[in-house]
Amino acid sequence: MKRRGIVCALLLAALLAACERQPIERPLQYSREPATAGAPIYRFAVHPLHNPQKLSRAYQPLVEHLSRQLHGAQIELEASRDYQAFEQKYRGRGPDFLLPNPWQTLDAMKAGYHVIAMAGNAEDFRGIFIVRKDSGIKLPADLKGKVVSYPSPTALAAAIMPQYFLYTHGIDVNHDIRNRYVGSQESSIMSVYLGESAAGATWPPPWRAYQREHPAEAAKLEVLWETPPLLNNSVMVRDDVPREVREAVAQTLLGLTQTAQGRAILAGMETARFHAADDASYEAVSAYVERFERLVRPVRGP
């Protein structure tokens, strides 16, 4: 009887210990298609072209299309709250695929990423200055002493290229104007509409989207100046992603213009097409950034 009591006590203690153990937390994954059991998952991080909700609407059809072409692997879209968060991710070699701006492309190469395509036509990659139609601003000199908004210090088309434009037109961007980095393309435009900045820098795709989605507000704004174009955003892959996956993604991107479904995906992203490109394609950007840093400011800080 005494032995039976000891056994019962031991069993009860074991059961209580099992009940007190906490379950392992696993993050929930969301997808509009069922996951393939055991399939590898590759994360595709897009730099903050839009806010996360709008970015998901624009790029989710692309990542689902890529997943269907991989036959046994899945692509998941990853948004970032701002440019700094996106840059921290690739510097830590987190995402498998990236869609960065051209300056971030150069930076990501240092972390072991390589270019497999260029997203959009080079002619569309230019900085533009948005002002209110009633601002009275006509010349760059009219901005002296005023606020100019940008998404981020590292936004190439929407900060670096506009600031270089101002430099070539006699403006010392470190002293003549007040630079305000507001986190996103839409915020840069809205800052002008609300009167918080005299001019806002952005680039054509967000401005076209703003005109379409906010016609009443856009009617009070206008493009005053634009910069010469440069290379467009890239698509990159981390150096340890299997070759067959890398090549399948690249070929799928390059072939999107060949089908009605692919053209619809491109239209939703405000992207004309993907072009073949590699690391060497961005050497012109490296020369541009080197000149900018020598003459204007360091890219990673105003």
pLDDT in 10s for each residue of the chain, 302 residues: 444 444 344 444 443 333 333 333 233 233 334 444 578 999 999 998 888 888 899 999 999 999 999 988 999 999 998 889 999 999 999 999 999 999 999 999 999 999 999 999 999 999 999 999 999 999 999 999 999 999 999 999 999 999 999 999 999 999 999 999 998 999 999 999 999 999 999 999 999 999 999 999 999 999 999 999 999 999 999 999 999 999 999 999 999 999 999 999 999 998 999 999 999 999 999 999 999 999 999 997 54
Q: How many CA atoms lie within 13 A of 224 on its CB side?
A: 25
Are residue 91 and residue 132 in the same domain, yes or no? Answer: no
Name the domain count of the chain: 2
**Closest of 130, 129, 134, 104 to residue 119, by C-alpha:** 104
Q: What is the pLDDT of residue 301?
A: 52
Are residue 58 and residue 189 in the same domain, yes or no? Answer: no
Read off the pTM.
0.79
CA distance 81 to 46: 11
**Closest of 145, 41, 137 to residue 95, by C-alpha:** 41
- Segments forming the whole domain that contains residue 279: 41-122+231-295
Are residue 74 and residue 219 in the same domain, yes or no? Answer: no
Residue whose pair of structure tokens reads 């069993």 in the numeric block = 11
Are residues 270 and 208 in contact, defined by beta-carbon separation less than 8 angstroms? yes
- Looking at 175, 209, 226, the residue that finishes a domain is 226
In a domain, residue 71? The reply is: yes
In a domain, residue 13? The reply is: no
Which residues are paired to 180 by β-bridges? Answer: 149
Other C-beta atoms lying within 10 Å of the C-beta of residue 48:
23
- Looking at 167, 196, 226, the residue that finishes a domain is 226
CATH number at residue 209: 3.40.190.10
**For residue 249, what are its two tokens?**
């993604």
Are residue 59 and residue 95 in the same domain, yes or no? Answer: yes
